[in-house]
């Protein structure tokens, strides 16, 4: 563990709370910024965030506040864990508060509409002087809260930042690995959410394991093909933040994106599903942005096109899956075998 330092986590949902608590458990002072004063009071007095992680005891080193300036005062590192649609607003408010040496790390797995911007792009635009990075991996918050071992990848602009974040977060049950491919790590975390929705539909349709295996392989090929086209390192997609996160999110009922897929596969309308959810499922927004970007660049994405047709063109799920499974797969196969 590194010398004790001070960090802030912005966003008091499930993932922000878990990451804040891991850092606090490693002996560092953590301020968790959230909007709901009642929840902040509960965290500070009962050491629990019962709305998102009931029964998970929070460390004494973790203190919640609803005042952003208070949360980030005198901290060396800020983690941002709000949904992608709020990311720019939150980060913009930081500009007047952070000295330029404060490191900012995104935990968010999404894409901003209008220009296909990743969260690290938003950090570069809003906080151009601050060093930045992303943390991504197969990290279901509830499993981490239950003490199950998990691994994650820190990717940033320098090896020194990676080492610092590793030392801050690494523990016996949360293993942190380093990557220099910030773009690929971040893109993997955002893209896999779309394929988790498809996997959930497959689960609702009671696909056999062979079919699931094929769907996962084709998902990996498709998301890697897209990412490599945009400049990511293909090897990143064979690691924890690529296939690792894809596998977890496409197979766990704890994944919100997978849950959306299961409900869709059972015939529930999308608006009803989203209306009933009190947590973010980033894959829905990512789907439309991914399709637009892939179409613009002429990238072959049959699974994305199929899911889009189910959600927005009212095509029957069974027909779409039938088409998807039997379309020309040469490009997918080529990627996997070369
Ligand atoms: N839950 C998980 O297992 C993991 C989630 N992530 C990613 O982390 C991000 C956050 O996810 P969760 O914590 O799970 O979501 P969540 O839905 O559990 O919580 C999001 C929190 O952000 C707050 N929020 C929304 N807009 C805000 C704003 N403008 N200002 C301040 N707070 C705001 C909400 O009130 C809520 O407390 C997502 O992009 C997700 O994909 C990444 C890894 C694992
Ligand atoms: O990113 C996650 C696991 O790595 C969480 O997935 P969901 O957002 O689908 O719950």
Q: Which ligand 1 atom is the nearest neighbour of the CA of 82?
A: 22
Question: Cα of 257 to ligand 2 centre, how many Å?
Answer: 7
pLDDT tens digit string along 186-207? 999 999 999 999 999 999 999 9
Question: Cα of 109 to ligand 1 centre, how many Å?
Answer: 9
Query: Which of 9, 11, 91 best tests ligand 1's pocket when mutated (most atoms within 8 Å of CB)?
Result: 11
Q: Which of 136-140, 143-147, 256-260, 310-314 has the lowest mean pLDDT?
A: 310-314
In this prediction, the answer to ipTM > 0.90 reads yes
Instruction: Tell me whether residue 52 is annotated as binding.
Output: yes
Where does 6-180 sit in CATH, by number? 3.40.50.720
Delimit the CATH 1.10.1040.10 region(s) of the chain: 190-326
Query: Which of 14, 15, 109 best tests ligand 2's pocket when mutated (most atoms within 8 Å of CB)?
Result: 109
Which residue's C-alpha comes closest to atom 10 of ligand 2?
255
pLDDT tens digit string along 209-268? 999 999 999 999 999 999 999 999 999 999 999 999 999 999 999 999 999 999 999 999
pLDDT tens digit string along 82-122? 999 999 999 999 999 999 999 999 999 999 988 899 999 99
Gyration radius of the chain over CA positions: 20
Cα–Cα distance between 173 and 84 in angstroms, integer? Answer: 27
Q: Is residue 89 within 6 Å of ligand 1 at its C-beta?
A: yes
Cα–Cα distance between 338 and 333 in angstroms, integer? Answer: 9
Delimit the CATH 3.40.50.720 region(s) of the chain: 6-180
**Which CATH number does the domain 190-326 belong to among 3.40.50.10480, 1.10.1040.10, 3.40.50.970, 1.10.260.40?**
1.10.1040.10
List all residues whose CB is within 6 A of at least one atom of ligand 2: 109, 138-140, 193, 196, 245, 248-249, 255-257, 282
Burial of 149: CB neighbours in 10 Å, binned 0-12, 13-18, 19+ = exposed
Task: With CA atoms as reference, report the closest residue to 325 among 207, 220, 249, 211.
Answer: 211
- The set of catalytic residues is 192
| 34 contacts: CB under 8 Å, gap ≥ 6 | 11, 12, 16, 40, 64, 66
Q: Tokens 């070369």 sit at which residue? A: 338
Question: Cα of 74 to ligand 2 centre, how many Å?
Answer: 31
| Sign of the four-CA dihedral 214, 215, 216, 219 | positive
The answer to whether 123 and 104 are in contact (CB under 8 A) is: yes
């Amino acid at each position: 563990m590194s010398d004790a330092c001070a960090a802030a986590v912005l966003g008091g949902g499930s993932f922000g709370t878990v990451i804040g608590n891991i850092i606090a458990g490693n002996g560092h002072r953590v301020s968790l910024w959230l909007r709901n004063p009642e929840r902040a009071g509960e965290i500070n007095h009962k050491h629990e965030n019962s709305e998102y992680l009931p029964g998970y005891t929070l460390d004494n080193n973790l203190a919640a506040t609803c005042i952003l300036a208070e949360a980030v005062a005198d901290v060396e590192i800020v983690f941002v864990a709000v949904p992608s649609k709020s990311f720019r607003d939150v980060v913009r408010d930081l500009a007047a508060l952070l000295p330029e040496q404060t490191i900012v790390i995104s935990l968010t797995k999404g894409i901003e509409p209008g220009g296909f911007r990743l969260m690290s792009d938003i950090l570069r635009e809003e906080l151009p002087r601050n060093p930045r990075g992303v943390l991504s991996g197969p990290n279901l918050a509830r499993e981490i809260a239950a003490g199950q071992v998990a691994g994650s990848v820190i990717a940033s602009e320098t090896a020194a930042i990676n080492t610092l974040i590793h030392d801050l977060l690494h523990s016996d049950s949360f293993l942190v690995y380093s990557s220099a491919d910030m773009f690929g790590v971040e893109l993997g975390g955002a893209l896999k959410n779309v394929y988790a929705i498809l996997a959930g539909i497959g689960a609702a349709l009671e696909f056999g394991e062979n079919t699931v295996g094929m769907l996962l392989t084709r998902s990996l090929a498709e998301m890697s093909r897209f990412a490599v086209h945009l400049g990511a390192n293909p090897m990143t997609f064979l690691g924890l933040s690529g296939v690792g996160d894809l596998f977890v999110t496409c197979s766990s009922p704890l994944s919100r994106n997978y849950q959306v897929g299961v409900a869709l596969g059972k015939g529930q309308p999308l608006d009803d599903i989203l209306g009933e959810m009190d947590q973010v499922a980033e894959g829905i927004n990512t789907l439309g942005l991914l399709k637009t970007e892939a179409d613009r660049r002429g990238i072959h994405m049959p699974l994305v096109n199929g899911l889009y047709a189910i959600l927005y063109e009212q095509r029957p799920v069974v027909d779409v899956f039938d088409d998807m499974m039997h379309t020309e797969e040469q490009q997918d196969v080529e990627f996997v075998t070369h």
